[in-house]
Amino acid sequence: MDEKDLILLQLLEENCRTPVSDLAVMAELSEQDTKDRISRLEAAGVIRRYAAVVDWERAGNGSVTAVIELKVSPERDFGYDRIAERIARFPQVRSLRLMTGTYDLQLLVTGSSMHEIARFVAEQIAPMDRIRETATLIIMKTYKENGVTFAVRGEAERLPYSF
């Protein structure tokens, strides 16, 4: 992968709906070379999928999102991979990462209510072999997601002035 591929990846990550003609200009490539490079990156699995960043609160979805942190006992010869593969199969799990720090795995989970998320953790995740501890953090409000700012402030608020 060369510098032009990295430029294209950054541009697509910022806005995957950018027309190829614009991508070509920004990356200083021909349109055909841009198309070929994108096709190659897709075929190689570097570009996994194109997605929209949605403000679900504004859309009125009503779902709840939580970060679930797990302490896991790694498995000999497999480390965290096999337990991560099992957890990734649940449709509620939107993201799953191996982390440094106090907890080993971090999940981003969605559900229709806090009760549904609590039940998912208690009935599906916590009882799994090798899970030693869980911590659930409910996301109250999203201000920025994948580089997109959600919080829009109206007019600047005047602060009271006093002596």
H-run or E-run covering 112: none
Residue reference for tokens 């799994």: 128
Assigned domain for 124 exists: yes
Does 54 have pLDDT greater than 50? yes
Each residue's pLDDT tens digit, 24-45 = 999 999 999 999 999 999 999 9
Per-residue model confidence as pLDDT tens digits over 90-103: 999 999 999 999 99
- CATH number, domain at 123? 3.30.70.920
- Judge whether 56 lies within some domain: no
Q: What kind and span of H or E run contains 41?
A: helix 31-43
Containing domain of residue 108, as a range? 62-141
Closest by alpha carbon to 12, among 2, 24, 1?
24
Count of C-beta atoms within a 10 Å radius of residue 83: 21
Same domain, 81 and 39: no
Looking up residue 20, the CATH number of its domain turns out to be 1.10.10
- Do 68 and 132 share a domain, yes or no? yes
Are 26 and 74 within one domain?
Answer: no
Report yes or no on 30 lying in a domain: yes
Asked if pLDDT for residue 3 goes beyond 80, the answer is yes
Number of domains in the chain: 2
Token pair for 92: 């509620």
Summarised one tens digit per residue, pLDDT across range 64-121 is 999 999 999 999 999 999 999 999 999 999 999 999 999 999 999 999 999 999 999 9
Residue 52 lies in a domain: no
115 is a domain residue = yes
> What is d(CA 122, CA 126) in angstroms, rounded to the nearest whole number?
5
Whole-prediction pTM: 0.79
Query: Would you say 54 and 111 are in contact if contact means Cβ atoms under 8 Å apart?
Result: no
Q: Is residue 80 located within the same domain as residue 135?
A: yes
Give a yes or no: residue 152 inside a domain. Answer: no
